[in-house]
């Protein structure tokens, strides 16, 4: 029996990697324009880190983490998200005290969920975190950054922004109590998941996709009535800034997010083009987390984007530029006993024309079979080196995607020709 990969942990094949690299490149470029810097931290952390930050009774910690004992008995967990690790790394390395940091990270995350379209067990996120700023201006900056990113990716018409404010931890506790009181007397009418959550994480019920539950919630107390004045003011200012910058949004008072550490602003960018897994980017403010993990108090706000979902969306909307899939410009056909000359010629062209991506035919073959390979490679030009050409220091140039007659050039003229075509 052949050994298979682990369910929900996919290989990324060469045909898809160009789109991934394109996506990662566009995101990194936009982040650089806002002067965010990359941070890298390990994939494994002490289990305690996630329990203490994400929260003991969240879905992630209760049932989704890949946790195991190390050989020396320490409990370790494959990171299910990046914020906790990022805060841990910043605390440990003294990056936060009296400092402002604008950071991003990228990499795999692990959650034991039911695999389906847009939901995997190893998935990838790019996360962005800003530390040391407590005003709504940095919340707005993050949202403007994401809006610019969707424009750069040409998916802005397919995503919408939802925002809400969760207030302080105390506001949330008061609201939770009121919600539980309202729902407890209607417990039998709730769907099964929500019944379970009523006792563990009742605010997640607001997220329920069940229609009866949602209808029941119409009469429930609303979170906005429990928000303190400072949070309310912060939220109003954020809305004013988004209005001024021309970013549209919808205030969704049922948006609560599934992690415990959020306070004040929370948001999600959602699309209706991917079915049930419609959230492509999600985040919010987490002013208490740094201190909770042992640092000096430090306000913070951030978000994470799911790269699989963004790739699905790019493909669905067919907005990846054609040039992204093209990886070969030039194919060097070498017919006869010319392998040595072909390699040397290819190297000198690579030195002279760094912008050209060239594939040299290796392993011989007839002229016809090599030309087939040249065509299949996607190259726009085939260079043809036969024994005559090698003897005369000439080269055949055949244009594969253009109605242009084949030429024979001196080899030393090639560099100039290529520079005019691919700069």
Residues that bind ligand ATP (CB under 6 A): 81, 111, 113, 118-120, 123, 125, 258, 277, 279-282, 304, 306, 308-309
Q: Closer to ligand ATP by CB, 159 or 238: give it.
A: 159
Buried/exposed 81-112: b ≥16 CB within 10 Å, e otherwise: bbbbbbbbbbbeeebbeeeebbbbbbbebbbb
Question: Do you know the residue count of the chain?
Answer: 423
Q: Closer to ligand ATP by CB, 108 or 415: give it.
A: 108
**Please, what is the minimum distance in Å from the beta carbon of residue 391 to ligand ATP?**
58
Query: CA 143, 145, 147: angle at the middle one, nearest 5?
Result: 70
Q: Is 188 exposed, middle or buried (0-12, 13-18, 19+ CB in 10 A)?
A: exposed
Q: Closer to ligand ATP by CB, 205 or 384: give it.
A: 205
**Please, what is the minimum distance in Å from the beta carbon of residue 191 to ligand ATP?**
16
CA atoms within 13 A on the CB side of 123: 29
**Please, what is the minimum distance in Å from the beta carbon of residue 76 to ligand ATP?**
20
Q: Closer to ligand ATP by CB, 79 or 234: give it.
A: 79
251 forms beta bridges with 163
Q: Closer to ligand ATP by CB, 258 or 336: give it.
A: 258
**Please, what is the minimum distance in Å from the beta carbon of residue 206 to ligand ATP?**
12
Q: Are strands 407-410 and 381-385 parallel, antiparallel or unpaired?
A: unpaired
Rounded Cα distance between 39 and 96, Å, is 13
**Please, what is the minimum distance in Å from the beta carbon of residue 415 to ligand ATP?**
46
* Cβ-Cβ contacts under 8 Å for 260 (sequence gap 6 or more): 53, 54, 55, 58
Handedness of CA 268, 273, 278, 280 (dihedral sign): negative
Instruction: Give the residue closest to ligand ATP by C-beta.
Output: 306
Q: Closer to ligand ATP by CB, 221 or 258: give it.
A: 258
**Please, what is the minimum distance in Å from the beta carbon of residue 112 to ligand ATP?**
9
């Amino acid at each position: 029996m052949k050994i298979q990969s682990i369910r929900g942990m996919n290989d990324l094949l060469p045909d898809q990697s160009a789109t991934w690299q394109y996506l990662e490149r566009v995101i990194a470029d936009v982040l650089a324009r806002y002067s965010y810097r990359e941070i890298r931290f390990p994939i494994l952390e002490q289990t305690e880190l996630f329990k203490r930050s994400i929260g003991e009774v969240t879905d992630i910690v209760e049932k989704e983490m890949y946790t195991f004992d190390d050989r020396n008995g320490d409990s370790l967990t494959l990171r299910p998200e990046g914020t906790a690790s990022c805060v841990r790394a910043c605390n440990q390395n003294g990056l936060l005290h009296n400092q402002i940091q604008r950071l991003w990270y990228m990499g795999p995350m692990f959650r034991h969920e039911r695999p389906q379209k847009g939901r995997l067990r190893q998935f990838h996120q790019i996360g962005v975190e800003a530390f040391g700023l407590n005003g709504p201006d940095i919340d707005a900056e993050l949202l403007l950054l994401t809006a610019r990113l969707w424009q750069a990716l040409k998916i802005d018409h397919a995503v919408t922004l939802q925002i809400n404010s969760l207030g302080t931890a105390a506001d949330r506790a008061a609201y939770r109590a009121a919600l539980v009181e309202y729902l407890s007397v209607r417990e039998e009418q709730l769907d099964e998941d929500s019944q379970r959550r009523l006792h563990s994480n009742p605010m997640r019920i607001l997220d329920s996709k069940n229609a009866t539950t949602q209808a029941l919630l119409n009469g429930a107390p609303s979170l906005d009535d429990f928000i303190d004045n400072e949070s309310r003011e912060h939220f109003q200012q954020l809305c004013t800034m988004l209005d001024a910058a021309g970013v549209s949004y919808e205030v969704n008072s049922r948006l609560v997010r599934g992690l415990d550490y959020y306070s004040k602003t929370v948001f999600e960018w959602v699309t209706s083009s991917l079915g049930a897994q419609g959230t492509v980017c999600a985040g919010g403010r987490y002013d208490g987390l740094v201190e909770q993990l042992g640092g000096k108090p430090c306000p913070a706000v951030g978000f994470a984007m799911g790269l699989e979902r963004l790739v699905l969306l790019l493909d669905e909307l067919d907005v990846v530029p054609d040039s992204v899939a093209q990886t070969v410009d030039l194919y060097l056909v070498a017919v006869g006993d010319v392998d040595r000359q072909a390699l040397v010629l290819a190297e000198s062209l690579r030195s002279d024309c760094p912008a050209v991506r060239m594939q040299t035919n290796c392993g011989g073959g007839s002229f016809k079979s090599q030309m087939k390979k040249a065509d299949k490679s996607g190259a726009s030009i085939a260079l043809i080196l036969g024994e005559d050409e090698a003897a005369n220091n000439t080269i055949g140039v055949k244009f594969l995607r253009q109605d242009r007659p084949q030429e024979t050039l001196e080899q030393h003229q090639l560099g100039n020709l290529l520079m005019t075509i691919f700069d």
